[in-house]
């Protein structure tokens, strides 16, 4: 094996070992939040811009309540996410394709570390939050991507209703 391949393998193994505690259920092990990045489903929101709060409950029956949410384009929503179960759950917002892909990756690498502004990991009996600015209309999804949870149906939908022409403004 060449020195380049050895160095690459060492870097990959080091990265994998750093991610081993990602879903162990403690809030203290959070990585630094990722920067803002425009996604199909919006962009990270600011607390001072919140226009609405939506309470979401996660349970060990692998369900979200509510599992259908409607927002208006331009709203910044604070999701207050309560884990009413006895195991770790998470809420991840995205497109169905993104969530399917991420769920498959999580199944292969269950210790994978990720901390994006469109996801919140909530330990059993705890409450977390996620603030998201919905600046694009469309039908999007949210889910718990912990291995087995998504596959058991722990998912929901978010409909972002487009602004009328009279309400349009730059984002």
The span from the CA of 8 to the CA of 161, in Å, is: 46
Note the pLDDT of residue 34.
54
C-beta separation of 71 from 159 below 8 A: yes
User: Along the 171 residues of the chain, how does pLDDT read in single tens digits?
Assistant: 444 334 333 333 333 333 333 444 434 334 444 568 999 999 999 999 999 999 999 999 999 999 999 999 999 999 999 999 999 999 999 999 999 999 998 888 877 767 899 999 999 999 999 999 999 999 999 999 999 999 999 999 999 999 874 454 444
Note the pLDDT of residue 106.
87
C-alpha distance from residue 91 to each of 18, 38, 102, 142, 164 (Å)? 22, 18, 13, 6, 29
Tokens at 81, concatenated: 């996410």
Burial of 129 from C-beta contacts in 10 A (0-12 / 13-18 / 19+): middle
Q: In sequence order, what DSSP letters do the residues of the chain get, joined into one string?
A: --HHHHHHHHHHHHHHHHGGGTTSS-GGGPPPPPPP--BTTBEE--GGG--EEEEEEEETTTEEESSEEEEETT-EEEEEEEE-SSS-EEEEEE-HHHHHHHHHHHHH-TT-----TTEEEE-TT-EEEEEEE--S-EEEEEE--STTTTTTT-EEEEEEEPPPGGG----
Residue length of the chain: 171
C-alpha distance from residue 84 to each of 6, 57, 87 (Å)? 46, 7, 9
Note the pLDDT of residue 29.
38
């Amino acid at each position: 094996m060449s020195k380049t391949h050895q160095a690459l393998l060492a870097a990959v193994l080091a990265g994998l070992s750093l991610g081993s505690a990602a879903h162990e259920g403690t809030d203290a092990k959070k990585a630094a939040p990722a920067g803002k990045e425009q996604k199909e489903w919006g962009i990270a929101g600011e607390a001072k811009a919140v226009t609405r709060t939506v309470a979401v409950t996660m349970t060990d029956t692998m369900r979200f309540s509510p599992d259908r949410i409607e927002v208006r384009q331009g709203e910044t929503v604070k999701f207050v996410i309560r884990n009413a179960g006895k195991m770790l759950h998470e809420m991840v917002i995205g497109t169905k394709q993104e969530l399917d892909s991420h769920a498959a990756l999580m199944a292969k690498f269950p210790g994978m570390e990720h901390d994006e502004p469109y996801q919140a990991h909530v330990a059993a009996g705890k409450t977390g939050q996620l603030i998201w600015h919905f600046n694009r209309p469309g039908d999007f999804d949210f889910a718990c991507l912990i291995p087995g949870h998504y596959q058991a149906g722990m998912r929901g939908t978010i409909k972002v209703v487009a602004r009328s022409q009279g309400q349009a403004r730059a984002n």
